Amino acid sequence: MKSSIYLFAAAFAVTVAPVAAQTPDFSKVEIKSETLGPGVAVLFGAGGNIGVSHGPDGTVLIDDQFAPLTDKIAKAVADLGGTPVKYLVNTHWHFDHSGGNENLGKAGATIFAHDNVRVRLAAGQNLLGNAVPPASAAALPVVTYAEGLTFHLNGDDIDAVFTGGGHTDGDTVLYWRKANVLHTGDLMMTEAPFPFVDTESGGNAVRLVASLDKVLAMTNAQTKIIPGHGPVTDRAGMQAWRDRIARAVETVRAAKGSGKTLDTFLAANPFKPMDREGAFVNSEGFARAIWASLDAEAHGHGHQH
C-alpha cells in the first residue's frame, strides 16, 4: 500500500511538476508555516497547502498532504500553539491533499468533505493514467455535504462551500469570515501557468470559471487567499487567474464554433507561449481539458450533481 502510493507519486511527478519538484524524499521535506491572522495559518510542505485554525475549541486542518508527513505536520501545528487535529476538511480527493487522512482518522480526527470526495476515495480512482487504490475506512470522510457547512469555533465562523467544482466534482473552498482568509483548494494555484482540470474526476473548465466567479464574490481587496499550491495571494491575483482561464475557454469555444478539430487547434496551439518549463500542466493538456469540458457541456454532462 505504502509503496504503491510512493510509486504513484513518482509516476505522477513525471507528468505534473510542482509535485515533481516537491515529491520524493519525504524525510527531507520541511513544513513551513505562515500566520495569516489570530489562530489562522498556512503550512507549506510537499503537496497541497494546508490551512490551519487553532485555538481554544480545537484544531481544524484543511488538507493533509502525504501520509509520511503527518508527524511533521502535527509538530508544525504544535509549534503554532495548536492541539492535536480535531477536525479535518479535504478540499478534494487528490492524494497530495488527502494522503494523511488515514493517519489522522486513526488518531481521532473527524474528516469532512464534499459528498463526491468520499465516493471517489472509497471507490479508487484514475489520475493521469495511474490507478489509485480505494482508501481505507479510516481515511474516509465521516461527515459529507452537497452544498457546504460552517464551523463555529476559535472565535471565527469558517464556511466550507461547494461552489460547483471545476478542478474536480468535489472542490470545497474555506472562508474565515472574521480573519478574512480564504483557502481555494486546487481551484487556484499560484505560480502555475495553467490550472489542472481533472476531467477524469468530474473537473470541467467552464465550471471552474463559474466557481472562481463565486469565490471572487466571497472576497474583498484585503482577503488573504491560500491557493492549493504556491504562495499566498490576494483578490487581484485570483482575478487575473480567473480571467486567463476564462479567455482560454472562449478561445477554444470560438475555434470549435468555427468547425476546427482538436488536432487542427493543437497544431497552432495559441496557449503555447504560456508554457513554462516544469509546469504542472502544459498548454496541450490545458487545451485538451477545455475541449473535453466543452464537449461535456454540449452533451449535458456538465452538471453531475
d(CA 74, CA 106): 14
Spatial contact of 47 and 66, defined as CB atoms under 8 Å apart: yes
Our CB check for Zn ion shows the closer of 105 and 195 to be 195
Give the range of 39-47, 86-94, 113-121, 146-154 binding Zn ion by CB under 5 A: 86-94
Q: How far is CA 161 from CA 21, 146, 283, in A?
A: 30, 9, 30
Our CB check for Zn ion shows the closer of 68 and 195 to be 195
> How many residues belong to the site for Zn ion (CB under 5 A)?
2
Residue 120 found at the interface with Zn ion (CB under 5 A): no
d(CA 185, CA 195): 12
Min CB(115)–Zn ion separation in Å: 17
Our CB check for Zn ion shows the closer of 94 and 288 to be 94
Spatial contact of 33 and 76, defined as CB atoms under 8 Å apart: yes
Min CB(132)–Zn ion separation in Å: 12
d(CA 293, CA 26): 35
Residue 94 found at the interface with Zn ion (CB under 5 A): yes
Residue 63 found at the interface with Zn ion (CB under 5 A): no
d(CA 101, CA 103): 6
Give the range of 82-90, 91-99, 157-165, 170-178 binding Zn ion by CB under 5 A: 91-99
Min CB(95)–Zn ion separation in Å: 9
Cell of residue 142, nine digits: 465521516
Min CB(192)–Zn ion separation in Å: 11
Nearest partner of 117 among 141, 138, 95, judged by Cα:
141
Give the range of 15-23, 52-60, 87-95, 247-255 binding Zn ion by CB under 5 A: 87-95
Min CB(186)–Zn ion separation in Å: 4
Min CB(94)–Zn ion separation in Å: 4
Query: Do the strands 59-62 and 125-127 form a parallel or antiparallel pair, or are they unpaired?
Result: unpaired
Give the range of 11-19, 64-72, 89-97, 205-213 binding Zn ion by CB under 5 A: 89-97
Cell of residue 214, nine digits: 463565486
Min CB(92)–Zn ion separation in Å: 6
Cell of residue 243, nine digits: 480571467
Cβ atoms within 10 Å of 254's Cβ, excluding its own: 10
x/- letters, 132..171, toward Zn ion (CB under 5 A): ----------------------------------------
Could you say which of 63, 64, 171, 186 contacts Zn ion (CB under 5 A)? 186
Give the range of 178-186, 213-221, 237-245, 269-277 binding Zn ion by CB under 5 A: 178-186
**Residue found by looking up cell 463565486 in the block:** 214
Distance of CA 83 to the CA centre of its chain: 25
Spatial contact of 74 and 168, defined as CB atoms under 8 Å apart: no
**Interface ranges with Zn ion (CB under 5 A):** 94, 186
